[in-house]
Amino acid sequence: MTLRLTSAPVSGIQKRKSVKPPPKARASPFSANARRKPNVATTGLKAVDFGLDEPLPDEGISQYISETAAVTNVEQAIRHVRTKMFDEMPERAGMNSTRIAEVLNLRRSLPPLASVAHIHTLLNAPTQVEREIVELLKSGRVRRLIIPGRGNDAAGLGDCLVLAEDWEQLVRDSPALDMEVKEKFLDILNRIGTHSALSQGIFEPDEFRALMRAGFLVSSSTLTQGSLSLTSLPNLPGAAVSSASRSRSAHSEPDRPVQSDAQARSATLFLSLPNTGTYLRLLGAGRAHLLALLRRSRCGEAPLSLLRERWDGAVETDKSFHVAKRARGEFAGILPGKTKKWKDMYGMQFRWVLEEALGAGLVEIFETGSVGPGIRCV
């Protein structure tokens, strides 16, 4: 057997192996649809919410507010309106001490007013309520405060009620008035009965200036021109004028003539309460904000529960799942101090402003039959 030796193993020459090309990546069926983050521009929502493109089912006017209000008469309704305007300050408010003090001081400074429209919403018995208001006014237990230039209809802000005891307490606690001025002003309040206008001649110049600075009187010259007709003012009671004139003449000016009717009506003073303007501006802002939230829905209506969530904002609560999220260090909602409710409305209650808007005829409440009461812009 012959042995054949070749140089192949030692020559370093190897046979070339065929190289296969790498497999091509398969095209995804979704590659034509680029992934995008959802935003307002792409979804087309802007200020409209999901699920409210169609009107809610309407099964008639709802009596939810009057049925759930814990009041049975006008006096209870006035106290309810006074005490339920704001929510309690939350423990985790998200506000520094300066802001918290500002909120509490503003709340404390507001007058104890209750609009007549709000009271009608709570009791829902127009004839009975008006009859009871007249009786309370005649008995002196309640005073009616008319603010000219703020509207006379239900949507206006110029027709309010105040408990007589609250009004008297404000006068006695005022640091801007002397004791003599306080007693004289309270005596005149008892004499004028249900009237809300006074003659400037009843007071000495220093007295009515002090009362105006303290906020208990407003001059007709400070009101908007054209918003008031002096011919429509009620006749001033002669007993109050004559009594004040005798009191003034006994002190310093015995020979001073009594003012004529024309002079008295040309210098008219209106009853007021301190910080009434602040109260009315805050009330008007609350109504406007509620309507703006309601108009976020395409049809201008929303369930009451959803509207309440919009008013309160996406705040954290004391519910179990929010507490668990906070314990895990997860986001559970923003702090109340970052919402419009607390920044601009000082914690105004949702139900309180809803009752005001209902009484003013700006919104209406109806039964949906499925998602509870619904609220609709009028």
Query: What does the pLDDT look like over 253-304, one tens digit per residue?
Result: 434 334 444 444 446 788 999 999 999 999 999 999 999 999 998 888 999 9
pLDDT at 210: 93
Q: For residues 69 and 16, which has the higher predicted lDDT (pLDDT)? A: 69
Q: For residues 180 and 223, which has the higher predicted lDDT (pLDDT)? A: 180
Same structural domain for residues 256 and 304?
no
Burial 141-158 (b: 16+ CB within 10 A, else e): ebbbbbbbebeeebeebb
Identify the weakest region by mean pLDDT among 48-57, 59-68, 94-103, 202-211.
Answer: 48-57
In tens, the pLDDT along 352-365 reads: 999 999 999 999 99
Give the alpha-carbon dihedral of 119, 123, 126, 131, to 10 degrees. -80
Average pLDDT over residues 64-92: 92
Same structural domain for residues 118 and 251?
yes
Q: Please state, in angstroms and rounded to a whole number, the distance separating the CA atoms of residues 296 and 48.
A: 5
CA distances from 132 to 82, 209, 298, 318 (A): 19, 35, 41, 42
pLDDT at 219: 80
What is the phi/psi pair of residue 367, to 5°?
Answer: -90, 135
Segment holding 205, helix H or strand E: helix 205-214
Same structural domain for residues 255 and 289?
no
Same structural domain for residues 97 and 219?
yes
Q: Is position 2 within any domain?
A: no
Return the half-sphere exposure (C-beta side, CA atoms, 13 A cut-off) of residue 171: 23
The total number of structural domains in the chain stands at 2
Residue found by looking up tokens 């709570």 in the block: 122
How far out from the chain centre does Cα 128 lie?
Answer: 27
Q: Is position 15 within any domain?
A: no
Same structural domain for residues 157 and 251?
yes
Q: Which of 261, 277, 293 lies at the terminal end of a domain, its last residue?
A: 277
Contact 113, 85 (CB under 8 A): no
Q: Work out the mean pLDDT of the chain and round it to a whole number.
A: 78
DSSP string covering 1-17, please? ------SHHHH---PPP
Among candidate residues 228, 215, 213, 217, the one with its CA nearest the CA of residue 189: 217
Q: Is position 32 within any domain?
A: no
Residue found by looking up tokens 């929303």 in the block: 302
For residue 314, name the pLDDT band (cuts at 50, 70, 90): confident
**Encoding tokens for residue 181?**
């001025």
Structural domain harbouring 116: 64-223+236-277
Beta bridge partners of 375: 302, 365
Q: How many helices (H) and strands (E) does the chain have?
A: 17, 9
Work out the percent of the chain whose per-residue pLDDT is above 90: 48
Q: Please state, in angstroms and rounded to a whole number, the distance separating the CA atoms of residues 119 and 359.
A: 8
Contact 88, 253 (CB under 8 A): no
Among candidate residues 103, 121, 151, 137, the one with its CA nearest the CA of residue 61: 121
Contact 216, 185 (CB under 8 A): yes
Same structural domain for residues 136 and 264?
yes
Q: Is position 102 within any domain?
A: yes
Q: Is position 10 within any domain?
A: no
Same structural domain for residues 189 and 314?
no
Q: Is position 34 within any domain?
A: no
pLDDT at 156: 59
For residue 90, name the pLDDT band (cuts at 50, 70, 90): confident
Same structural domain for residues 325 and 263?
no
Contact 286, 348 (CB under 8 A): yes
Identify the weakest region by mean pLDDT among 201-215, 224-238, 277-291.
Answer: 224-238
For residue 327, name the pLDDT band (cuts at 50, 70, 90): low
**Encoding tokens for residue 141?**
């237990």
Same structural domain for residues 169 and 313?
no
Q: Is position 20 within any domain?
A: no
**What's the length of the chain?**
378
Same structural domain for residues 119 and 191?
yes
Same structural domain for residues 314 and 182?
no
* Amino acid (1-letter code) at residue 209: R
pLDDT at 19: 60
**Encoding tokens for residue 99?**
């802001």
In tens, the pLDDT along 169-190 reads: 999 999 999 999 999 999 999 8
DSSP 85: S
Q: Is position 356 within any domain?
A: yes
Same structural domain for residues 321 and 348?
yes
pTM of structure: 0.73
